[in-house]
Structure 1
Amino acid sequence: MTSQTVDAFHRGRFHLVQPKGRGHRAGMDAMLLASLVADDSRCRVADLGAGAGAAGFAVAARVEKAEVTLFEYVPEMVDFATRSIALPENAHLASRLTVRQADVTLRAKARAEAGLIDDHFDHVIMNPPYNDAGDRKTPDELKARAHAMTDDLFEHWIRTAGAIVVPGGQLSLIARPQSVADIIAACGRRFGGLEITLIHPRPGEDAVRMLVTAIKGSRARLTFRAPLIMHEQESHAFSPFVDELNNGRAAYRRNDKSLHSQA
């Protein structure tokens, strides 16, 4: 059996089984992605490329009426997510979490057969691979597969999101700022009302990530929101609001308050 750890998130509200010393280990990116789901109603959430399931688990832990399906292609990571659902520490969430092995780039009938059903989910979240193929290589195969992207990755992933989310449903993703043009192009006529937030490590430093939300079928214009600053000056501690997001005590709500029952 692969060496593993069991790690607590949201101050112990859920736990994850993760590979030890290899693969992509969940952290801040997954927690910020999960914070984008701000929905008080009963809702269905698809986590595309879920890995061990960190973002999907974080949604289920904070959004009490959310039913979350984790879609992951790599069998080993599917196994980690499955074992995480079975942990006694996650018994309070288990009935609202499902994991499916699926290639999120499938189309038509094959996509539906994999559980990626058209017009079914209220929210789709994704943390797509973000390194260009020519970027720094790693001997860790699991990590390489999690981090390597292709030129048309966003087109394929967002095409699937557009198919499986209900009209008026929300797409949420986290990515590198360098991908902004590809994301806007892939949203095309599928999603509108894009809200983009750049994430900066500290004041005066360049952005390292961005949060994006969009609404299926919306014709609203793109908005660049105020940036999120992770740390204050020389401190390594998270800023108060980022700490709230990281620990599942707050949602990062859209400025467009018309979606669902956001209060």
Structure 2
Amino acid sequence: MFADTDLSCDGFLGGRLRIWQPREGYRAAMDPVLLAAACPARPGETVLELGCGAGVASLCLAARVPGVRVTGLELQAGYADLARRNAAESGLGLTVVDGDLAHIPAGLRAQSFDHVIANPPYYPASGGTPARDAGRERALREKTPLALWLQAALRRLHPGGWLTMIQSADRLADVLALKGAGSIAILPVAPRAGRDATRVILRARKGGRGALRLLAPFVLHEGERHMRDGDSFTAAAQAVLRHGAALEI
């Protein structure tokens, strides 16, 4: 568990949401905001977030779509408690379940959802320098294989339900190993025009039969390079990150 002195309260969606996060552990940035914006949930529908952390993606989605019913599954108890606190203080509905997606708790296994969203760890289990903080290391480095994240997501979806996932661009081949879903759309996310994408957002439909679509990149920053301090987001990125707009796919 985290003491208040170990936390910071950070603004998301232009300050519309205030989220408690550990100062030294895993700290959400723009990726969960993009994930929430890409989920096509509508009021009254159900959403499960696998690995919800402190609740940033789930709460950004709940803020954008009034009446959506969101459940988060989180392995690390301290982060699960933060997600509950953040939901309560924001006045948004979020049910948080403690558990491992590789061994879904029985109560959650009995449910299915209209949507599943996920922001799995980007870094492979081997190689690289481990993070000094254990919670950050667990959130960023793959321990449960990405294939199991994909399988768990599909099992929790209704037939015809939608999976939305954000992942490092260099893991795209692993993401496309998804079986049991179709109508796949891939949105590359590039830091600037003309730069390689660093992230990809996948949307896939359980049982879908549509052709795979590779979309034009979503560009985050204006200009060819960083020229000044401060906000250089494109108008489209500002709409999503600052104003809570949907990310159309």
TM-score, normalising length from structure 2?
0.91
Report if aligned partners of 1:58, 1:248 keep a CA contact under 8 Å in 2.
Answer: no
Against the structure 1 CA distance between its residues 47 and 248, is the aligned structure 2 distance closer, same or farther, given a 3 Å change threshold? farther
Report if aligned partners of 1:195, 1:223 keep a CA contact under 8 Å in 2.
Answer: yes
The corresponding residue for 2:22 is: 19
The corresponding residue for 1:138 is: 131
Report if aligned partners of 1:35, 1:248 keep a CA contact under 8 Å in 2.
Answer: no
Post-superposition offset of 1:153: 1.7
1:27 is paired with a residue whose SS is coil
1:25 is paired with a residue whose SS is coil
C-alpha deviations, 1:164-222, integer Å up to 9, x for none?
1111111001101111111111x21x111110011111122221111110001001121
Against the structure 1 CA distance between its residues 10 and 116, is the aligned structure 2 distance closer, same or farther, given a 3 Å change threshold? farther
Post-superposition offset of 1:113: 1.1
The corresponding residue for 1:10 is: 13
1:11 is paired with a residue whose SS is coil
Distance, in Å, in 2 between the alignment partners of 1:237 and 1:116 is: 43
Matched, 1:231 2:231: no
Distance, in Å, in 1 between the alignment partners of 2:208 and 2:141 is: 31
Give the partner amino acid of 2:235. P
Distance, in Å, in 2 between the alignment partners of 1:112 and 1:141 is: 23
Against the structure 1 CA distance between its residues 201 and 31, is the aligned structure 2 distance closer, same or farther, given a 3 Å change threshold? same
Give the partner amino acid of 2:17. F
Against the structure 1 CA distance between its residues 248 and 154, is the aligned structure 2 distance closer, same or farther, given a 3 Å change threshold? farther
Post-superposition offset of 1:79: 1.4
The corresponding residue for 1:65 is: 67
Q: Give runs of aligned pairs for residues 51-200 of structure 1, distance below 5 A.
A: 51-87=53-89, 90-91=90-91, 93=92, 96-106=93-103, 111=104, 113-118=106-111, 120-133=112-125, 134-150=127-143, 153-185=145-177, 187-188=178-179, 190-200=180-190
1:210 corresponds, among 200, 206, 218, to 200
Distance, in Å, in 2 between the alignment partners of 1:210 and 1:184 is: 11
Report if aligned partners of 1:8, 1:16 keep a CA contact under 8 Å in 2.
Answer: yes
Distance, in Å, in 1 between the alignment partners of 2:107 and 2:142 is: 22
Post-superposition offset of 1:40: 3.0
Against the structure 1 CA distance between its residues 48 and 248, is the aligned structure 2 distance closer, same or farther, given a 3 Å change threshold? farther
Give the partner amino acid of 1:154. L
Distance, in Å, in 1 between the alignment partners of 2:121 and 2:243 is: 24
Give the partner amino acid of 1:103. D
Give the partner amino acid of 1:140. D
Post-superposition offset of 1:248: 4.4
Number of aligned pairs? 240
Distance, in Å, in 1 between the alignment partners of 2:118 and 2:243 is: 17
1:242 is paired with a residue whose SS is helix
Distance, in Å, in 1 between the alignment partners of 2:140 and 2:244 is: 28
Give the partner amino acid of 2:170. Q
Report if aligned partners of 1:45, 1:68 keep a CA contact under 8 Å in 2.
Answer: yes
2:14 is paired with a residue whose SS is helix
Post-superposition offset of 1:223: 0.6
Post-superposition offset of 1:112: 5.0
Structure 2 unmatched ranges of 5 or more: none
The corresponding residue for 2:47 is: 45
The corresponding residue for 1:246 is: 241
Of 245-254 and 128-137, more deviation after overlay is shown by 245-254
TM-score, normalising length from structure 1?
0.86
Distance, in Å, in 2 between the alignment partners of 1:196 and 1:253 is: 12
Distance, in Å, in 1 between the alignment partners of 2:99 and 2:148 is: 14
